[in-house]
Chains A and B, each alone.
Chain A
Amino acid sequence: MFFLESLQAALALLLELDPELLHIVGVSLNVSLWSTLAACIVGVPAGFFIGIARFRLKQAVITFFNTMLAMPTVVIGLLVYSLLSRRGMFGSLGWLYTQKAMILGQIILITPIIIAFTIAAVGRLDDRYRRTALTLGASPLQVGLVILREARFSIMAAIVAAFGRVISEIGISMMLGGNAKGFTRTMTTAMALEYDKGEFVLALGLGIVLLSISLAVNVLLGYVQGRTGR
């Protein structure tokens, strides 16, 4: 009964477009999108080149990034905190407890995900694409573009997974953002706070939004893949 009542109130909050709820969702999306974008800029090319290149320590590099996938968010939070705190190496930037600090921490969290999944996507791709492009006279860059194009849906899936990871993480947001209302409060940190307070209405409303965003992103990916017939 209690859950149903809370759920009803949460839905009402959503339908009324509650300003506080919308602001929290906005902060979450802002931080997550920027960190995903930055991680893509670094991770996709890095994963791509590690995936296609042949070098001596390749397996060790892949193992390193696979290990990084299991890095706990609180460890990253602690690491970035030590760098951004007043006594830290980059304390003078004054980023601690800002969205910039959260974005930085989240970039560190998901870049290995994007790199590892991109390496896997490129490595799994049938070698005939490379050979075919080569025999048709493609330059190394053109061969690379062919591989990138053929692996694009696996890479997109990696990006979606990374976005899902950051929008639902709590450790980094809490440690580096500080859960400041109106500034760094995200959906997950707000839900944790509401839980501590014993208030489930906002927490449930945010939970519904979080799941809806996840669902929407995955539906969009599926739609794009379906539209292009792969």
Chain B
Amino acid sequence: MSLFELSGVRVVYEGRVVLDLPRLAIEENTAYSLQGPNGAGKSTLLGILSFLSAPHQGEVRFEGSAVRWTEPALRVLRRNVGLVEQHPVMFSRSVRDNVGYGLAIRGVDKARRNHLVDEALDLVGLSHLAEVYAPRLSGGETQRVAIARALASRPKVLLLDEPTASVDTHNRVIIEQIVADLRDRGETTVVLCTHNRSQAAALCPEVIYLEDGRLAARPASNSYAGQFVAEQGRTWCRIAPLFCVPVPQCGPGRGRVVIEPGAVRLSVAEEPGLNRGALTRIRLEDGLVSLSVDLGRPLHVQMGLAEFKDAGLEIGALVQVEIPAEAVQCFLGS
């Protein structure tokens, strides 16, 4: 039984279909990325999954039961879901009171509430800010407290709406780590709405990709698990015996790398070697040439038509792959 089952769900605004999902299932304790261009229907879907807005047509089932879109029924359902908006708002109280709000309205006694709040704040690394007046927090801290607030009540689903879109690198890394921890623990379903494909590929094994309100094919992504090793003063991630990428910003250990397809350069090679492989696919997509190279693992590359013609590439050709360090994002431990 899936956690969420949506069938025939349609949302129409001013005559325009903004969401049209013949069928969508979201499984328990799995991490999903929710991707798609602006206006694809991501926020509308999050609204339905958080039980804040009803679809105009279709059925939504939660834990096998059809959702009744009445206020008393929704209140019970909403207590299973935590939603963190892109720009979360803090109640004008302390961080502790904010994080404990969901517990307080559930009638959890103060001692237990404090314990759960401390746990949640510990998870996001902000225990030291428990007594601070919440609206004074920075953007990144606010985002982390909002995650703690959503998690304190132990929801079955955590919905994150672009949680790292407007935070600094330090907070982004911490938030990504929180999502990775939740995914690894496997106790919560996570739906991460993001425009960052690399982040989505690294954090979420499952993808919901929307285009014009409809489910669309998952776009190719270069996401690989590998071992980070330091050699000759530089750190590399070895993905396959002949597939190695530079990861200067990551220390040694196991992790995951995501390679930006548009930043990879290809040239014809004479003989096999490191980062050399056969060109297995060439396709024209939206004015860009999409290619696949077999390096022991498939590597997706995108380039302009003029650049493709200049490179003289053809199917089956042996190519040298150049991967600049700035094209690689690494995620340690994930």
In the assembled complex, A199 has its CB within 8 A of some CB on chain B:
no
Note all chain A residues with C-beta closer than 8 A to B82.
135-136
> What CA separation (Å) do A139 and B74 show in the bound complex?
10
> What CA separation (Å) do A135 and B149 show in the bound complex?
11
Contact B92 A136 (CB under 8 A): no
Note all chain B residues with C-beta closer than 8 A to A135.
50, 52, 78, 81-83, 150
**Of B99-107, B165-173, B235-243, B256-264, which binds chain A?**
B99-107
| Cβ contacts A13-29/B at 8 Å (1 or 0 each) | 00000000000000000
Contact B106 A146 (CB under 8 A): no
> What CA separation (Å) do A64 and B263 show in the bound complex?
62
Of chain B, the residue at the smallest CB distance from A136 is B102
Taking the nearest CB of chain B, how far is it from the CB of A65, in angstroms? 27
In this complex, how many residues of chain A approach chain B with their Cβ under 8 Å: the count is 20
In the assembled complex, B153 has its CB within 8 A of some CB on chain A:
yes
**Chain B: interface size category:** 20 to 34
**Of A2-10, A46-54, A111-119, A123-131, which binds chain B?**
A123-131
> Interface on chain A toward B: helix, strand, loop, or mixed SS?
helix
> What CA separation (Å) do A128 and B84 show in the bound complex?
11
In the assembled complex, A228 has its CB within 8 A of some CB on chain B:
yes
In the assembled complex, B109 has its CB within 8 A of some CB on chain A:
no
Which one of A131, A146, A229 contacts B91 once the chains associate, using CB atoms below 8 Å?
A: A146
Of chain B, the residue at the smallest CB distance from A153 is B92
The verdict on A229 contacting B52 (CB below 8 Å), with A136-B101, A136-B153 known, is no
Contact A137 B105 (CB under 8 A): yes
> What CA separation (Å) do A230 and B71 show in the bound complex?
32
Taking the nearest CB of chain B, how far is it from the CB of A110, in angstroms? 27
In the assembled complex, A78 has its CB within 8 A of some CB on chain B:
no
> What CA separation (Å) do A146 and B149 show in the bound complex?
15
User: Which residues on B are within 8 Å of A, measured CB to CB?
Assistant: 50, 52, 71, 75, 78-79, 81-83, 85, 87-89, 91-92, 101-102, 105-106, 133, 135-136, 149-150, 153
